[in-house]
Amino acid sequence: MNFSTESLSLRNLMQKLFDEEKEGTSWVTKFEHNFSRKFKSNYSIAVNSGTSGLHAALLAAGVGKNDEVIQPSITVIMDAYVTLHVGAKPVFVDVDRKTWNIDPKEIEKNITSKTKAIITVSLYGLPTNITEIMKIAKKHNLTVIDDSAETFLSSIDGELYSNQTDITVYSFERSKHMTSGSEGGMVTTNNEHFAERVRKFAGIGYRGLKASAGRTSLSSEIYQNPDYERFDEIGFNYRMNCITAAMGNAQLEVLNDLVKLRQEIGKEFLNAVRNCNWMTPQFIPDNVSHTFFTFAVKYEGFSVHKLSWKEFYQEYKRRGGDGFYACWKNPYMEPSLRKKTYGTQIWDKGLCPIAEDLQSKIMAFKTNYKQINLAKQKIKILSEMIDEIGR
């Protein structure tokens, strides 16, 4: 058989990882342990994606049929999908006009006797107003799940923005601050009950699973016995594999640098759009650190200079800029949620006017450059273009 050098070295690396696993603590357990230390959480459970982590988190919180889950109207669709998969109803609420994150006042307005949980999302790396949201949740006895896929190591009042909610879910998908290859996720919590439920659900409901990693040690005579009952919960296989965990571990070691680089790039972008009255970035409250998963602006060049979103995009690319992203459609406007599958209702346009207006105007510029100089070259193109059009 003929192997290329790349595939041979990859095979050797994999063999080394497997051998190390056999000899000692598993890579997944090491990764969970190190993640807990870094993010100051009592429990971390590694999963195979952010989406599966969100699904497990909702189940751990006891969300089920006919419950309602409040969530923002600017976010990825996966927050709604997992809600529907547990039989609950997503309740989309509008966002704050300045930060674009879920608006605590809108949360409060939408609480009903069926509300069971709130999903918060730190959009593009800007932490939500979590202090206010936790006060509301406490008053109404709701579980808060923070979808932290887009923010790693951000802070509020100098304190790490993590574990301030009941359950936090991270994604290591390839575009995120840290990745574990191309897919992966982590669920963190300080609550033993939630941790055990997440681990069990994500681990096919094995009865021996507990909040912390590892299984209850049993003598082989017990588990090799035909009478042995292995499963006491219905779960899925959302487990992370050892190669993914080894890569995640390596990224965790350099996470500070990865976040710092995106923050430096974010600052360069902020300078480029300063005093431009038709490109408005997310408002960053003084006590908060933004981690710039992307750098996003609200583009109003059409009303000011009659230059449409698409025309700006084409011109920026023509000059050598990187193609930026638009905002995802508001989840309830996506075709997949406009069918009566899962017994969902059809939501009308106009449900969340601030979010819908923003959705059509957002430009999300890439911040995941490997070197600051390359980012600066691209940002210079943006800055010059803004100067030519007029700020």
Minimum gap (Å) between residue 180 Cβ and ligand PLP: 10
Residue of the chain from 50, 203, 248, 331 that contacts ligand PLP (CB under 6 A): 50
Of 69 and 121, which CB lies nearer to ligand PLP in the complex structure? 121
Specify the 3-state DSSP secondary structure of 326.
strand
For 142-204, give the DSSP string: -EEEEE-TT-SS-EETTEESSSSSSEEEEE--TTSSS-SSS--EEEEES-HHHHHHHHHHHBT
Q: How far is the CB of 148 from ligand PLP (least distance, A)?
A: 8
User: What letter would DSSP give residue 296?
Assistant: E
**From candidates 57, 93, 121, 355, binder to ligand PLP by CB under 6 A:** 121
Kindly tell me which of 53 and 321 has the beta carbon lying closer to ligand PLP.
53
- Grouping H, G, I as helix, E, B as strand and the rest as coil, residue 364 is strand
Whichever of 152 and 278 has its CB closer to ligand PLP, that residue is 152
| Nearest residue to 17 (alpha-carbon basis) of 243, 247, 240, 206 | 243
For residue 82, state whether it binds ligand PLP (rule: CB under 6 A). no
**Contact pattern from residue 174 through residue 213 relative to ligand PLP, giving x for each residue in contact according to CB under 6 A and a dash for the rest:** -----------x----------------------------
Residue nearest to ligand PLP (CB): 50
49 vs 128, beta carbon nearer ligand PLP: 49
Angstrom distance (rounded) from CA 364 to CA 177: 15
Residue closer to ligand PLP, measured from CB, 26 or 51:
51
Confirm or reject binding of residue 76 to ligand PLP (CB under 6 A).
yes
Q: What Å distances lie between residue 33 and 6, 45, 221, 297, CA to CA?
A: 31, 9, 30, 37
Distance of closest approach, residue 151 Cβ to ligand PLP, in angstroms: 9
Q: In terms of CB distance, is 327 or 382 closer to ligand PLP?
A: 327
Which residue number, 28 or 386, has a Cβ lying nearer to ligand PLP?
28
d(CA 12, CA 160): 38
- Nearest distance in Å: CB 143, ligand PLP: 17
Interface stretch with ligand PLP, choices 46-54, 65-73, 265-273, 365-373 (CB under 6 A): 46-54
Q: Is the dihedral of CA 334, 339, 345, 349 positive or negative?
A: positive
User: What residue has token string 């751990």?
Assistant: 60
Binder to ligand PLP among 57, 70, 78, 167 (CB under 6 A)?
78
For position 77 contacting ligand PLP by CB under 6 A, the verdict is: no
Backbone angles phi, psi at 325, to 5 degrees: -100, 150
**Short-list 273, 263, 266, CA closest to 383:** 273
**x/- track of binding to ligand PLP for residues 126-165 (CB under 6 A):** ---------------------x-xx---------------
User: Which CA distances in Å does 99 have to 103, 148, 152, 281, 354?
Assistant: 9, 16, 18, 9, 11
Which residue from 44, 49, 129, 165 is in contact with ligand PLP, where contact means CB under 6 A?
A: 49
Strand pairing category for 362-366 and 325-326: antiparallel
Task: Tell whether residue 75 is a contact of ligand PLP (CB under 6 A).
Answer: yes
* Contact yes or no for 44/32 (Cβ under 8 A): yes
Query: Distance between CA 369 and CA 375 in Å, rounded?
Result: 6
Question: Residues 51, 83, 289, 359: which binds ligand PLP (CB under 6 A)?
Answer: 51
Write down the least CB distance from residue 171 to ligand PLP, Å.
3
Question: Taking a C-beta distance cutoff of 8 angstroms, is the pair 354, 95 a contact?
Answer: yes
Going by C-beta distance under 8 Å and a sequence separation of 6 or more, which residues neighbour residue 170? Answer: 50, 53, 148, 149, 152, 176, 185, 186, 187, 188
For ligand PLP, which stretch binds (CB under 6 A), given 73-81, 157-165, 188-196, 275-283?
73-81
Nearer to ligand PLP, 245 or 386 (CB): 245
Residue 171 contacts ligand PLP per CB under 6 A: yes
* Vertex 263 angle, CA 259 and 268, to 5°: 150
Point out which residues bind ligand PLP (CB under 6 A): 49-51, 75-76, 78, 121, 147, 149-150, 171, 173, 185
